[in-house]
Amino acid sequence: MPGAPTCRDRGRRVVVHAPAKTNLHLAVGAPGHDGYHPLVTVFQALSLYEEVTATAAEPGSGVTLTVSGRGVDETPLGASNLAVRAARALAEHLGRPADVVLHVHKTVPVAAGMAGGSADAAAALLACDLLWRGDLAPADRLDVAATLGADVPFALLGGTALGTARGDRLEPVTARGELHWVMAWAREGLSTPAVFTALDDARDAGRAPRRDVLDARVPPALAAALADGDPHALGAALDNDLQDAAVALRPALAGVVGAARGAGALGAVVSGSGPTVAVLADGADHAAELARVLGAAPEVAETRHVHGPVAGARQVVGADVSPDHPSLRGR
């Protein structure tokens, strides 16, 4: 059967990395009957990667997971881990046993609004597909990814993209040039459900405007800035419906945004549900200066200069499956 293990698979391994993201635009609708909020968002993939190594395991051994790097103590190792869920979902899709040893090396902080867990899932999905010779078409892989979480398909796709529905229906967006960002990381993460609840409470109390109808397009000013490769116009177009809710839960974030703007940032916005603040710089030298200034702020644990957009999940050079493997075609 497709994807069935063979003796020659024993000991094979595949290494894949997948990028973190930030949101250039995030509009949040009212929750539906299922409790989920419809979204219209513009994602951008950043040069900060989660890395997953998938190694062939003995038949019947199931999925085992180890983790290294940032946030090890905060990362679940059992069935709730998104990388484990990705391996099992793919195995079910392929009709084969989910026998694999996964190792996740984390560089993205946990609960930072940068979709590190989703990047783990995307990397595990691609790594297992290559390891098991599933040869899934990119569209089929995206379908499996969508069952795992709203941000997982984008971690596969990468680049810059419009996300609708729960953020998992994607359309590539034209984005010219390279953008330089400084990610200012807080000392503690924020719960995504708590931030959405805070937004709902603010709307119910009349402290935040409702969005009963979402415009499922890239806002015109943002689309023009991306197409023109104009970071100054882009900085003015950044917006996030969750920002005020995140600040209400973590008031120090307002100081980070203010410090970034005071230091000459082209724009500063809470990334996703926070608490990371994404700060747009006018080139690499400016990013280095912003990182220095923000790194001295008491509310900031660490800064990282990254660029975007970058590609989605990719095999790391030197792994056992070559980059021209059939399941990578068309990506």
pLDDT band of 320, cuts 50, 70, 90: very low
Predicted pLDDT of residue 76: 84
Q: Are 9 and 45 in contact (CB under 8 A)?
A: no
Enter the tokens of residue 103: 């190792």
CB atoms within 10 A of CB 174: 12
Q: In the structure, what pLDDT confidence band is assigned to residue 63 with cuts at 50, 70 and 90?
A: very high
The Cα–Cα gap between 144 and 276 comes to 28
Which residue has tokens 């190594």? Answer: 53
What pLDDT is attached to residue 328? 40
Phi, psi (rounded to 5 degrees) for 262:
-65, -25
At 34 the pLDDT is 86
State the pLDDT at residue 93. Answer: 97
Position 319 pLDDT exceeds 80? no
The string of pLDDT tens digits covering residues 76-122 is 888 999 999 999 999 999 999 999 999 999 999 999 999 999 999 99
More confident residue, 328 or 74: 74
Query: Of 154, 120, 138, 160, nearest to 24 (Cα)?
Result: 160
- Predicted pLDDT at 35: 85
Over residues 22-51, the pLDDT tens digits come to: 999 999 999 988 888 999 999 999 999 999
Distance CA 102, CA 256 (A): 36
pLDDT tier, 322 (very low <50, low <70, confident <90, very high otherwise): very low
Does residue 301 have a pLDDT over 70? yes
Q: State how far the Cα of 279 lies from the Cα of 36, in Å rounded to an integer.
A: 28
Give the catalytic positions in this structure: 21, 151
Q: What value does the mean pLDDT of the chain take?
A: 92
pLDDT at 4: 52
Rounded Cα gap, residues 322 and 294, in angstroms: 41
Cis peptide before 275 (omega within 30 of 0): yes
Q: How far apart are CA 201 and CA 134, in angstroms?
A: 45
DSSP string for residues in 2-16: TT---GGGTT-EEEE
Average pLDDT over residues 288-299: 94
Compute the average pLDDT of residues 193-218. Answer: 95
pLDDT of residue 227: 98
Higher pLDDT, 187 or 162: 162
Give the bridge partners for 56, in sequence order.
100
What pLDDT sits at residue 171? 97
Q: For 211-220, write each residue's pLDDT tens digit.
A: 988 999 999 9
